[in-house]
Amino acid sequence: MKFPEHKAGLYLNHNEHLTSYSTVEGFIRDEYYDAKDFISQDQMKKAIETNQCWCLQWYPDTPVGLCRLLAADLDQLLDAVKGKK
């Protein structure tokens, strides 16, 4: 698996919302997860229904300015990453 180029950090998280006793839906509502970062509406719906969320976040050039992708399924997230190199 080749990850997107990143001159600063790259992080893969699973269910980060649970560390705040929250839900995927709560994190979207509170604008921690941005709905536009989900790889598809189907994946956002599934993440809400299953309360499961994978997040890949990276900093392409500097520690300021990040890219983020979210999905309910890790395999679909990794497939989407291939188009973001």
Burial 34-53 (b: 16+ CB within 10 A, else e): eeebbbeeebbebbbeeebb
Would you say 16 and 57 are in contact if contact means Cβ atoms under 8 Å apart? no
67 located within any domain: yes
State which residues form the domain around 66.
Answer: 10-84
26 located within any domain: yes
The predicted-structure confidence for 42-66, as pLDDT tens digits, reads as follows 999 999 999 999 999 999 887 888 9
Predicted pLDDT at 84: 64
Number of domains present in the structure of the chain: 1
Mean pLDDT of 8-30: 96
The pTM of the full predicted model, rounded to 2 decimals, is 0.89
Contacts 24+ apart (CB under 8 A), 26-35: 27/53, 33/70, 34/68, 34/70
3 located within any domain: no
